[in-house]
A and B are shown apart, each in its own frame.
Chain A
Amino acid sequence: MNACAKMAILGRLRAAVEGVGPAGFPRPAPAQGLRRAGAGAADFAVFAGALTALGPTFELARTPDEARAAVAGAVARHEVRTAVAWDHPDLAAVGAVAVIEGAGASVLSPDDLPGRACPSLAAVDMGITGVAYALGATGSLILTAGPSMPRSAALVPRLHLALVARSRLLPDLPALCDRLAGGPMPSAVNCVTGVSSTGDIEFVYVRGVHGPLAVHVIGLDWL
């Protein structure tokens, strides 16, 4: 758009870094390797500990049956009448959509969403998603956008239900950055740690500002 501005700015920057100033570039500093990702496989105990300290709730399902019971339980507990679901292998492994429908709620699939998805989900009670990864150290859910994985599903409804397969656990953020660097970046990667919060009025901590007011995570131990 503004080619003049670009030329001028980059020109000044080049002159600055290529000019042999008295101090040179970069400032002499001891070489620092980047932090290596945490070693060892993260486990659900560590993940759940970090996660639940920040507001979300967690339950571990050892079998597909336990997972189905957990999904049905969440639907009942949170009085879910409408839901939107990702089209995701971990949901398919549980048969999650059938469970929700079996519990009496209607389920929207990504294909049902209109061109402006967000407003259409305003009255939907629950978004159920899988995750690309989860981080053990911080209890973070890593959500990546894709055709079958709309971003709004985990953002607009009042409840976010996330199914986390054990194989998706990573130790920490550096491990995530390593993984992401290994492939093309999705259009959106959201690393969600806890329930949205604010301290903007007199630093009083309040949970549930924008996005889901509740986050429930079901660990899929066999997957």
Chain B
Amino acid sequence: MSAAKHDFAKAAAKALDDRESRAILDRAIFHIDVLRQRSVKAMPDFAERRARAVAVREKTLARLPELLETLEARVTAAGGRVHYAEDAAQAAATVTDILTAAGAKLVVKGKSMVSEEIGLNDALAAAGIEAVETDLGEYIIQLAGQRPSHILAPALHVSKEQVSALFQEKLGRTSADIPEMTRIARDSLREKFLAADAGITGCNIAVARTGTVTVLENEGNIRFSASCPPVHVALMTLEKVVETLADAAAILDILPPSATGQTLPVHLSFFTGARRDGERDGPREMHLVVVDNGRSAVLADPVLRDILRCIRCGACLNVCPVYQAVGGHAYGSVYPGPMGSVLSSVLAGGEGDPRQPFACTHCAACAGACPAGIDHPALLQELRRRLAATEPDPAARAFAALARHPWLFDGLAAVARTVDPRLTKTAALAPDSPVGRFLRGRRFPGLARPFARRFRKMGQGGKS
């Protein structure tokens, strides 16, 4: 798609230089993860809950085509319409067409990462439709002309001073006080909710058997977007479907604790089709757009398909040392962090840095936190293997080849010990070599007389 691929290393270096954003990010991420850990620890049966949720995700993926057809039938029976979209462009066009046909000029949007993925706001703007983000974080991001930096808390990186200045500039009203700023946003957005011609939301879980779109939120903006305007468009990616309400309950058992440390969010809403006969409110038109964008192809991948278990809780972002250091924007893709590093590599369009899977320390904190049992390091390892097959990587290959010959391996170590024991000469001579790069900011302790020779002198053990 785009000509120049995103360079994560460069973007990360830039993010590291932004000390102010890093400090806010640090505090915020630490805070959100403390909430998660506290909540998980308070649930003595969390391991069981996780096992149940994983089982539900697995049995669901195994029956995906059938469940999507059931979902479509049930949504249609409840007065809604289901649309399928192959990729981002088709999804954005589908939504634009729906809104244009309904004569919508003003649209309120609940937070939806799928909407970001399909570039919906740009498409709507091009069609002359005003789209207002109504999640407070997304609203701030939209006013600032930025993109979200976290899949759950999009404005995690913005300071209250920045928000205050932004409100003054864009809304003509502001405050230094966070509750007061929240009130200003409430007033401003309420006008939009009441006047909007359509509401767009995401979908955390779709229940096939009942044709229900389930959404979770704390602010109430999604409930407004799906309840007040005459048209409701819900966006979902195809793996979000489960079969029954009981299956949905199994996911709801682990999603809020892992996401925000809550047992339940303030608003858990189940929307089934359009307004029924005799009802005084609710959307007269309800549309569900099912987006593929590369996911159906991943389902056939025996290793990477595990990423389709993801329930978008964001826990893996919060515990990732790389995400903690640079934040979401450096990834140059809609989904950052460990889940994003995998998902971006498999989505159609291939956003972000293709070498992203290498930007991981293999610390496995993500896998430990994931409530859906995804082993992100294993998936990233598989992606590395596929990428490495197309790269020369002479240093790693040479090192591995050398290690096949102990006399050569030990001999070269002996030579290095004599010539450049602290590797300072190598680093000075070749600052961009692996050794040179490692030694930026580090002092190598030095090569030593090898252990085998010392061991023989210890006398207490024996040579085998």
A and B in contact, CB less than 8 Å: yes
Residue numbers in A under 8 Å from B290 (CB-CB)? 9
Contact B212 A202 (CB under 8 A): no
State the CA gap A34–B297 with chains docked (Å): 30
**Given that A13-B65, A196-B267 are known contacts, is A2 also in contact with B84, CB under 8 Å in the complex?**
yes
Are A185 and B211 neighbours in the complex by a CB distance under 8 Å? yes
- The residues of B that contact A178 with a CB separation of less than 8 Å are 245-246
Tell me the smallest distance from the CB of B93 to a CB of chain A, in Å. Answer: 9
In the assembled complex, B221 has its CB within 8 A of some CB on chain A: yes
Flag if B155 contacts A200 (CB, 8 Å): yes
- Considering only residues 100-140 of chain A, those with a C-beta below 8 Å from chain B are 110-111, 113, 116-119, 122, 137-138, 140
Across-interface contacts of A113 in B (CB, < 8 A): 280-281
**Top 3 A-B pairs ranked by shortest CB distance?**
A147-B278, A210-B220, A200-B137
Interface 0/1 of B224-248, CB less than 8 Å to A: 1011101000000010000011111
Using known A-B contacts A5-B90, A188-B282, A195-B266, determine if residue A180 contacts B245 with beta carbons closer than 8 Å: yes
Interface presence of A27 (CB below 8 A): yes
Q: Which of A31, A54, A138, A201 contacts B140 (CB 8 A)?
A: A201
Most buried by B among A2, A152, A194: A2
B52–A34 contact, CB under 8 A?
Answer: yes
Cβ of A222 < 8 Å from any Cβ of B?
no
B271 at the interface (CB under 8 A from A): yes
Bound Cα distance A151, B225 (Å): 12
How many angstroms between the C-alpha atoms of A195 and B153 in the bound complex? 19
Whether B163 sits at the interface, judged by CB under 8 Å, is yes
Query: Which of B55-63, B121-129, B424-432, B447-455 touches A?
Result: B55-63
CB pair A27–B58 under 8 Å, yes or no, is yes
* Residue A204 lies at the interface, judged by CB distance under 8 Å to chain B: yes
CB neighbours (8 Å) of A1 from chain B are 81, 83, 94, 97
Whether B69 pairs with A10 at a CB distance below 8 angstroms is yes
The answer, yes or no, to whether B269 is at the interface (CB within 8 Å) is yes
Given contacts A15-B300, A177-B248, A181-B246, contact A151 B264 (CB under 8 A): no
Interface-located stretch among A16-24, A65-73, A91-99, A162-170: A16-24
The total number of A-B Cβ pairs within 8 Å is 284
Contact among B78, B193, B266, B299 for A12, CB-based, below 8 A? B299
Q: Does B249 contact A (CB under 8 A)?
A: yes
Q: How many residues of A contact B (CB 8 A)?
A: 78
Distance of A16 Cα from B210 Cα, bound (Å): 25
Interface string of B262-298 (1 = CB under 8 A from A): 0111111111111111111110000000101000110
For the complex, give the distance between the alpha carbons of A48 and B327 in Å.
40
Q: Is A173 an interface residue (CB 8 A)?
A: yes
> Which of A10, A187, A199 has a CB less than 8 Å from the CB of B279?
A187
B193 & A210 in contact (Cβ 8 Å cutoff): yes
User: Taking the nearest CB of chain A, how far is it from the CB of B138, in angstroms?
Assistant: 8
Residues of A at under 8 Å CB distance from B? 1-2, 5-6, 8-10, 12-17, 19, 21-23, 25-27, 29-35, 54, 110-111, 113, 116-119, 122, 137-138, 140, 145-147, 150-152, 155-156, 173-174, 177-178, 180-181, 185-204, 206, 208-211
Taken together as a complex, chains A and B put the C-alpha atoms of A210 and B228 apart, in Å, by 13
Pairwise interchain contact B219-A23, C-beta atoms closer than 8 A? no
Chain B positions within 8 Å of A, measured between CB atoms, are 24, 27-28, 31-32, 48-49, 51-52, 54-56, 58-59, 61-65, 68-69, 78-79, 81, 83-86, 90, 94, 97, 134-137, 140, 153-156, 158-160, 163, 178-179, 181-183, 185-186, 189-190, 193-195, 209-212, 218-221, 223-224, 226-228, 230, 238, 244-250, 252-253, 260, 263-282, 290, 292, 296-297, 299-300, 302, 305-306
Q: A17-B64, A145-B282, A199-B153 are in contact. List 10 more A-B contacts (CB 8 A).
A: A12-B292, A27-B58, A118-B227, A150-B280, A151-B281, A187-B272, A192-B266, A193-B263, A201-B136, A206-B179
Known: A188-B271, A190-B269. A34 touches B227 (CB 8 A): no
Of the candidates A15, A25, A29, A174, the one whose C-beta lies within 8 Å of that of B54 is: A29
Closest to B87 in A: A5
Given A193-B264, A202-B159, residue A173 in contact with residue B62 (CB < 8 A): no
Q: Which residue of A lies closest to B31 (CB)?
A: A203
Bound together, the chains give a CA A208 to CA B163 distance in angstroms of 18
Q: Are A118 and B228 in contact (CB under 8 A)?
A: yes
Which residues of A are found within 8 Å of B193, using beta-carbon distances? 118, 210
The CA-CA distance from A13 to B153 in the complex, in Å, is: 32
Residues in chain B near residue A208, CB distance under 8 A: 182-183, 186
